[in-house]
Amino acid sequence: MDVGFLGLGRMGRGMVATLVSAGHRVRVWNRSPDTARDIAGAIPVGTAAEAFAGDAAITMLADDAALRAVIVEGGLLDRDARPSMHLSMSTISVALAGDLAAIHARAGIAYIGAPVFGRPDAAAAGTLNIIAAGDAAAIDRAAPLLDCMGTKTWRFGPEPQRANAVKLAGNFMLVAAIEAMGEAAAFAEGHGVPAGDLLAMLTGTLFASPVYKGYGALIAENRYEPPGFTLRLGAKDIRLVLAAAEAANVPMPFASVLRDNLIDAIAHGAGDKDFAALATVAARRSGR
């Protein structure tokens, strides 16, 4: 397929590489042009408009503001040369996803919400879990792209914003897991038990899942650099969770606790460290 890809951060670069390896023609654009020239087999283009065309366009931009600025304020939906479908794979707000679905419908472009679960290593390996929502026929047409970027595409119905609700729910649970491990590690160390010993046992038994194992190892080793996913981006996601919860009148008291602890971590210089650095808040508060 002829694909345009916008956004070449830690995740986007690996995703482009899997598309190129699968034989797709991929035009790439990034706000930092040098990044677009570094991916073997991809075709760098000078403007977002050149990338937002062809059989499909994929966006993996950092946040709501970036996506809105590039796609909506940049006028890409008003041009004659437009893609037949847009796969929005960023973690964005439920509200923006709903707005984009309506705007794309008016422009006659299929819009698919398709955020992902997985860190940069999974993106590079094509082993992401992809959450897809939107027109079923459009998702079927996008399957050759989704299948090479992920191990499974999980479908959640016709409204694209549902995919973003699922993504935010998952990220809330992920942050809660990191917070729980951080507090448990500080508690155990307060009683003379090394954090590494505690987390190795628990993540190999009661909590033997990828999130607990992966983040537990980082916490046990105090290994927060280089980041796979920054704590600052995680804080953005929790803000999105709280906004979407308020819009649906769903109380999420622990999400508020997580937000405050993330702000604490950022205030103490951990914003650009790995997400797992949230555990340093509990350690610091306990004098460790």
Which domains, and CATH codes, for the chain? Answer: 2-158 (3.40.50.720), 164-285 (1.10.1040.10)
pTM of the model: 0.95
DSSP per residue over 163-176, as a string? HHHHHHHHHHHHHH
> Token pair for residue 263?
């702000």
| pLDDT confidence of residue 90 | 96
Catalytic residue among 167, 213, 236, 273: 167
CA distance linking residue 238 with residue 241, whole number of Å: 5
> Token pair for residue 86?
């847009």
Q: Are the C-beta atoms of 91 and 167 separated by less than 8 Å?
A: yes
| pLDDT confidence of residue 36 | 77
37 pLDDT band, cuts 50/70/90, is: confident
The separation between the first and the last C-alpha atoms of the chain, rounded to the nearest angstrom, is: 53
The pLDDT tens digits of the residues spanning 138-167 come to: 999 999 999 999 999 999 999 999 999 999
pLDDT higher than threshold 80 for residue 46: yes
Catalytic site includes residue 167: yes
CA distance linking residue 28 with residue 246, whole number of Å: 37
Q: Are the C-beta atoms of 39 and 69 separated by less than 8 Å?
A: no
